[in-house]
Amino acid sequence: MKNIFATRTGIIVVGAVIGIGAALLQYFGNPPNMGICVACFERDIAGALGLHRADVVQYLRPEIMGFVLGAFAAALFAGEYKPRGGSSPLIRFFLGIFAMLGALVFLGCPWRTLLRLAGGDGNAVLGLVGLVFGIFIGVLLLKNGFSLGRSYPQRKASGWIFPALMVGLFLLLVFQVSFTPGGPIFSSVKGPGSQHAPIIISIIAGLIIGALAQRSRFCTMGAFRDMILIRDFHLVSGVAALLVFAFVMNLFLGQFKPGFEGQPIAHTDHLWNFLGMTLAGLAFVLAGGCPGRQLFLSGEGDMDAAIFATGMIVGAAFAHNFAIASSPKGVAAFGPAAVITGLIFCLVIGFTQRDKIVA
């Protein structure tokens, strides 16, 4: 069976759908320049569960659940559902934590970096340059023989765990479950966490994007990595389509506001915007996918990717509990220390986890 989404045209169409979808989700209520942000939305989920108590960023984001479940359905349908795991799970868990810390110092994942650019936020340029620089370091490590080792096939039922968790989270959202008075599930009444599209629109958008991304292998990190590593421009054409179509939609919907100061859910500390995304980019390369791609892989039954995604949710809790996550006011007290620690961790992993190069 020919997979039309894996063609050049296919990846461009998928990038365009994500770009248009993100701009529309903003229009329907999601936060500005954050139609879709995998890192931010996982952070909101961590908050909704009470893993952190930053009361402006707590909401069970249906887009995340849609991504996993859409990819799960598409993989089942295409015969690509293959439970697998066992490739350095603990390292991937920590890569997920540090990827999230870096992303929250910048305030966005690679998707949101593009969406911030498409909305006119100049600070995102620093984030994008940092992301590419981190990926560049990761490519050097790959060329040096970096590997987290092989994964192995797992039993069929094990790949259901992560999708089942997503169904559970979705039900908690739909039925507005409260476990204790004043306790979780939390839902922000102010701030970005309170801004969201209607549940039905969010989940449908998530399912469609999840299914399309599974078929097309859309990955923002992979896009830049493949350009640097093997001069392959396949994935980056999808990323470019996302940027262009989000930009055009923003112009059309009056959501384009160019500048550096006063951009929504962003700060102007150039150095830490750059280094935060350097850390995130490096961690994504070592783990083999951007945060979105990790969710789609989780849906296919990749339990190593699911562990990375879980690490990101836990990382978000640390980021807000330990004064690491930035805010529009600027970088937090322990943000820089966390980024430096993360960079050291990634470099140590990058240099120590190597297969012998058989030349």
Q: In the range 290-309, which residues lie near other proteins by CB under 8 A?
A: 304
Print the binding letters for residues 274-293 with other proteins: x by CB under 8 A, - otherwise.
--------------xx----
Closest CA to 289 of 220, 233, 206: 220
Residues 140-179, mask of contacts with other proteins (x by CB under 8 A): --xx---xx-xxxx--------------------------
- Least distance in angstroms from the C-beta of 326 to other proteins: 30
Is there binding between residue 61 and other proteins (CB under 8 A)? Answer: no
Among residues 142 and 248, whose Cβ is nearest to other proteins? 142
Tokens of 81: 């559902």
Q: Amino acid letter at 341? A: T
Q: How many angstroms separate the CA atoms of 285 and 291, rounded? A: 11
Q: Can you tell me the distance from the alpha carbon of 145 to that of 357, in angstroms, rounded to the nearest whole number?
A: 6
Do the Cβ atoms of 290 and 219 come closer than 8 Å?
Answer: yes
Q: Does 74 bind other proteins (CB under 8 A)?
A: no
Q: CB 140 → other proteins: shortest distance, Å?
A: 12
Token code pair at residue 175: 């039925």
DSSP-assigned letter for residue 59: -
Nearest to 68 by CA among 319, 340, 310: 310
Nearest to 15 by CA among 204, 214, 219, 241: 241
- Beta bridge partners, 270, equal none
Please identify, using beta-carbon distances, which residue of 58 and 88 lies nearer to other proteins: 88
Stretch that binds other proteins, among 22-30, 222-230, 255-263, 325-333 (CB under 8 A): 222-230
Contacts of residue 355, defined as CB under 8 A and 6 or more positions apart, other chains included, come to: 145, 147, 149
Which of these ranges, 34-42, 219-227, 247-255, 340-348, lies near other proteins under the rule CB under 8 A?
219-227
DSSP letter (8 states) at residue 197: -
Can you tell me which of 43, 61, 116, 217 binds other proteins, judged by CB under 8 A?
217
Site size with other proteins, rule: CB under 8 A: 28
55 binds other proteins (CB under 8 A): no
Footprint on this chain of other proteins (rule: CB under 8 A): 3, 6, 78, 80, 82, 84, 87, 142-143, 147-148, 150-153, 217, 222, 225-226, 229-230, 232, 234, 288-289, 304, 357, 359
